[in-house]
Amino acid sequence: MNPILSLLLWTILTGAGFIVSFFPRTLEMRLGKALGRFLLFVGGSRRRIAIENIKRCLPELSPFERTALLKKNFEHYGILALELLHIFSPFPGHYLKYVRKIVSVEGLENWQKAHEQGHGVLFMSTHLANWEIPSIIAALKGVPVTVITRQLKPAWLDKKITSLRSLAGCGSAYKDQRLTAVLKGLHNQKSICFVLDQYIAPPAGIAVKFFTAQVHTFGVFGLFSKRAKAPIVPVFQTRDEKGIIHVVLEPAINPEEIPEDPKEFTQALSLKVEGWIRKNPSQWLWVHRRFKHAIWENQELPATP
């Protein structure tokens, strides 16, 4: 990135981080919704992506229901934006205190049982609510987590996020180090976190059904589990109307329960993720280009709301 633009970005984010540091959660929720409605108004290409994804994935919704969902979805993005700005607060320790204040964890005993098997743990999550939260709060609860991520630009931004995770006790590994990082981490009894609702090109990606599409999804999750004998703990998160983010750890899937066919297991995980989203559709990342090269079921797109 151009050094001047990088400095400008740093100045804006740090200034915004300073301001949101003083927001009570109730005000943050109200302002976040207002910001989201503004983002919907100026949404451009991302608004169009969200509209098309909602139409194709949820064809059973009426035009009125789609419009209402789109509005709530963008209100969620506004809240999410303010939540993420706390990362850039200039006050030492602010973000970790903020996370502790707004997060509730359920099912931590499911991770403990899986961890006690002594082979590490694989977390499977999704882009619901604030997806940065689970790894941070897990680390704060004593879970040795490593997040598989991508390198951010500019360099100071990547360093900022990585150091913040490190302060919480959460490690980071880049996608080009995925195989090595996963196997090494599991060998050292760490917990490795993946999100399963991203497009992954073949050969690592396997085409499975997700909503009304056949789309490539990370397909070697089960192989990792079987090779390392590491159980998989499904994790999802939702934000309630008061602003509390509920992180839920479900019972572990043990390696011996996983089918030999990678596609069969990937399909099962994909359906689980879809189920989470259907229960909380307004908090999923509909603006994401999840459906690259997807093969859709035979259907006509409903009219634009």
**For the chain, what are the domain ranges?**
3-296
The values of phi and psi at residue 57, to 5°, are -80, -30
- Residue range 108-143, pLDDT digits in tens: 999 999 999 999 999 999 999 999 999 999 999 999
Per-residue CA distances from 292 to 57, 73, 139, 146, 163 (Å): 14, 21, 33, 27, 32
Strands 213-218 and 295-296: antiparallel
Report residue 42 CA to chain centroid gap. 24
pLDDT of 303 reads 47
Question: HEC string of the chain?
Answer: CCHHHHHHHHHHHHHHHHHHCCCCHHHHHHHHHHHHHHHHHCCHHHHHHHHHHHHHHCCCCCHHHHHHHHHHHHHHHHHHHHHHHHHHCCCCCHHHHHHHHHEEEECHHHHHHHHCCCCCEEEEECCECCCCHHHHHHHHCCCCEEEEECCCCCHHHHHHHHHHHHHHCCEEEEHHHHHHHHHHHHHCCCEEEEECCCCCCCCCEEEEEECCEEEEEECCHHHHHHHHCCCEEEEEEEECCCCCEEEEECCCECHHHCCCCHHHHHHHHHHHHHHHHHHCHHHECCCCCCCCCCEECCCCCCCCC
Q: Where does residue 129 fall: left (phi above 0), alpha (psi -120 to 50 degrees), or beta otherwise?
A: left
The string of pLDDT tens digits covering residues 271-281 is: 999 999 999 99
CB atoms within 10 A of CB 122: 26
- The residue among 222, 128, 146, 240 whose CA lies nearest residue 189 is 146
Q: How far is CA 230 from CA 39, 109, 196, 261, in A?
A: 42, 16, 17, 17
CA–CA gap between residue 71 and residue 53 (Å, rounded): 14
Q: Collect the ranges in the chain with pLDDT lower than 50.
A: 301-305
Q: What is the pLDDT of residue 43?
A: 82
Say which residue the tokens 């789309």 belong to: 215
Q: What is the pLDDT of residue 305?
A: 44
CB 110 within 8 A of CB 253: no
> What's the pLDDT score for residue 236?
97
- CA dist 5 and 3 (Å) reads 5
pLDDT score recorded for residue 156? 87
What confidence score (pLDDT) does residue 301 get? 47
